[in-house]
């Protein structure tokens, strides 16, 4: 009898501790009591001891690091690749086109951010999307003193909707887990996803109006004149001690940076990316770089080679061709070392968090508990339940954990009440706009790291809007009879 009670209590304890660990992490980083890296490492280590499995902490961490090592390698070389492409001027025409569209109007800037992120997301990789979007939009947000968390939030939501593409990951996982065809899941969902993307654009419009009301509207010429007077390196005044637009705390949008001399120097270096006279430009190699990037993205989509290998080869090639002299190559690597270290450090720290969450069994018991508390009467509405559950579960779990661990259980329960696996699979995609801002998604650290936004500030801003976008997709899917 005593043994039976213990068997019941232990899973319940793991469930409670799992939710407590995630809640503790989110509260501490949103209150800025700990840095994300420290919180990702220390909190799971502490809870691993609470669970009574402290002796296995090393095994859990190694398992987590092993599973995320390819992702870390991909991000490291992707940052170098796209960083060099920005240096040599590949994206300058895109930036100039965005500047022409935006006309220094905050509303247009925010909408332009959403459109750019959605278009770039067609490659199916969140990290690539965030690197290109932030590189293009960051200087404009800084020049206009706009909130950077608006940029990160809008980009994350647009990418989250587009992440449902068959080659993006979640759809393929759902198809594999339920033994379905990916096109049968995705194609009927297109109307609902289109409504979701439209919701992101509408939200961007209203967020932009809010920024316009706060800042007003300048002409591009007025902005450039202000920067010239402030000796900003953006318009070629290299050697300036600091940018006049980077010193206001309001300009960071809560990013936690930009108020000290070191932050200003970093921002000046970022502004120089648009200097039409910078020494790193390679106009004669523009079409080589463009074709190489198209080839790389095509190879990613077609899965000709693993993504880490593609970016490793791409980074080596682009460095060698554009900067044949070794000192120049070292200088480019040094220029991007800060971003590489930040992002790769976050990924390996997240490996501790995911390793403990999965190794101790907490994530399995959390998922089982959430499935078990579904009332019996909700059986015929399991697609709706799955759509709602996809919000918290894909936020607190990896996509692999949700699609391969939870979705089959939900689908089995739905099948008993006549709900088809296709409906369940489509409903499971609903939570992706929120999932892209999960602390377990490595790409989000690329986003906040390059934008110099605190992860806690990004989380506090984006969760409510991303959840609303998910609910819009779910409502549209039910209205159209897709889910």
DSSP characters for 217-238?
---HHHHHHHHHHTT-GGGT-T
pLDDT of residue 247: 33
CA dist., res. 305 & res. 298, Å (int): 11
Average pLDDT over residues 180-202: 92
Average pLDDT over residues 146-160: 95
Average pLDDT over residues 59-72: 84
- For residue 217, what pLDDT band results from cuts at 50, 70 and 90? low
- For residue 467, what pLDDT band results from cuts at 50, 70 and 90? very high
Tokens of 286: 């523009």
Average pLDDT over residues 369-390: 83
pLDDT of residue 14: 86
Give the residue from 428, 453, 464, 478 showing the smallest Cα distance to 164: 428
Q: Exposed, middle or buried by CB within 10 Å (0-12, 13-18, 19+), for 325?
A: exposed
Residue 14, CA distances (Å) to 2, 349, 409, 454 in order: 19, 22, 19, 30
Q: What is the pLDDT of residues 168-187, one digit of tens each?
A: 778 888 888 888 888 888 88
Q: Do you know the residue count of the chain?
A: 483
Count of CB atoms within 10 A of residue 208's CB?
A: 24
Average pLDDT over residues 264-268: 50
Give the residue from 263, 214, 240, 260 showing the smallest Cα distance to 110: 214
pLDDT of residue 460: 92
Lowest average pLDDT, out of 238-242, 328-332, 429-433, goes to: 238-242
Listed in sequence order, the residues at least 6 apart from 280 whose beta carbon sits closer than 8 Å to its beta carbon are 87, 88, 89, 332
pLDDT of residue 219: 57
Average pLDDT, the chain: 80
Sign of CA dihedral 394, 399, 400, 406: positive
79 or 460: whose pLDDT is higher? 460
The gap from C-alpha 225 to its chain's centroid, in whole angstroms, comes to 34
CA dist., res. 186 & res. 96, Å (int): 34
pLDDT of residue 9: 65
Listed in sequence order, the residues at least 6 apart from 478 whose beta carbon sits closer than 8 Å to its beta carbon are 384
Give the residue from 273, 193, 197, 165 showing the smallest Cα distance to 483: 193
Residue 203, CA distances (Å) to 81, 194, 451, 464, 472 in order: 32, 14, 20, 12, 12
Please state, for a pLDDT cut of 90, what percent of the chain lies above it.
Answer: 29
Query: pTM, whole model, 2 decimals?
Result: 0.70
- For residue 261, what pLDDT band results from cuts at 50, 70 and 90? very low
Q: 35 pLDDT exceeds 70?
A: yes
pLDDT of residue 231: 33
230 or 275: whose pLDDT is higher? 275
Average pLDDT over residues 254-276: 47
Q: Exposed, middle or buried by CB within 10 Å (0-12, 13-18, 19+), for 353?
A: buried
Lowest average pLDDT, out of 54-58, 370-374, 390-394, goes to: 370-374
pLDDT of residue 196: 96
Which residue do the tokens 């080869």 mark? 313
């Amino acid at each position: 009898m005593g043994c039976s009670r213990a068997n019941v209590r232990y899973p319940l304890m793991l469930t409670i501790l799992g939710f407590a660990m995630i809640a503790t992490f989110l509260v501490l980083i949103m209150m800025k009591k700990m840095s994300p890296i420290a919180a990702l490492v220390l909190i799971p280590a502490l809870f691993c001891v609470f669970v009574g499995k402290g002796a296995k902490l090393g095994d859990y961490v190694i398992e987590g690091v092993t599973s995320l090592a390819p992702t870390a390698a991909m991000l490291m070389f992707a940052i170098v690749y796209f960083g060099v492409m920005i240096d040599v001027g590949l994206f300058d025409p895109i930036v100039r086109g965005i500047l022409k569209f935006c006309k220094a109007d905050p509303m247009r800037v925010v909408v332009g951010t959403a459109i750019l992120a959605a278009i770039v997301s067609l490659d199916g990789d969140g990290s690539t999307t965030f690197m290109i979007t932030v590189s293009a939009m960051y200087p404009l947000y800084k020049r206009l003193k706009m909130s950077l968390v608006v940029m990160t939030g809008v980009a994350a939501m647009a990418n989250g909707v587009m992440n449902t593409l068959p080659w993006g990951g979640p759809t393929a996982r759902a198809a594999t887990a339920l033994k379905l065809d990916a096109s049968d899941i995705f194609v009927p969902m297109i109307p609902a996803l289109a409504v979701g993307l439209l919701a992101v654009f509408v939200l961007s419009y209203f967020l932009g109006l809010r920024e316009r009301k706060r800042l007003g509207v300048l002409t591009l010429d007025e902005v450039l004149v202000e920067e010239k007077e402030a000796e900003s390196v953006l318009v070629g005044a290299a050697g300036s001690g600091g940018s006049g637009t980077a010193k206001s705390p309001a300009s960071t949008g809560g990013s936690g940076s930009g108020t000290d001399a070191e932050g200003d120097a970093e921002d000046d270096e970022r502004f120089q990316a648009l200097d039409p006279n910078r020494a790193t430009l390679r106009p004669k190699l523009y079409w080589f770089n463009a074709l190489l990037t198209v080839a790389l993205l095509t190879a990613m989509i077609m899965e000709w080679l693993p993504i880490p290998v593609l970016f490793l080869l791409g980074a080596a090639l682009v460095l060698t061709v554009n900067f044949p002299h070794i000192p120049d190559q070292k200088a480019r690597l040094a220029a991007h070392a800060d971003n590489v270290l930040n992002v790769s450090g976050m990924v390996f720290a997240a490996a501790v968090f995911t390793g403990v969450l999965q190794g101790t069994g907490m994530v399995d018991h959390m998922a089982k508990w959430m499935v078990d508390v579904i009332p019996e009467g909700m059986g015929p509405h399991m697609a709706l339940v799955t759509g709602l559950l996809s919000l918290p579960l894909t936020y607190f779990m990896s996509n692999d954990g949700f699609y391969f661990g939870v979705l089959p259980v939900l689908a089995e329960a739905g099948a008993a009440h006549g709900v088809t696996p296709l409906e369940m699979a489509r409903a499971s995609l609903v939570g992706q706009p929120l999932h892209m801002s999960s602390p377990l998604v490595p790409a989000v650290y690329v986003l906040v790291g390059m934008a110099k936004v605190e992860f806690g500030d990004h989380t506090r801003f984006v969760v409510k809007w991303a959840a609303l976008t998910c609910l819009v997709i779910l409502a549209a899917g039910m209205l159209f009879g897709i889910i």
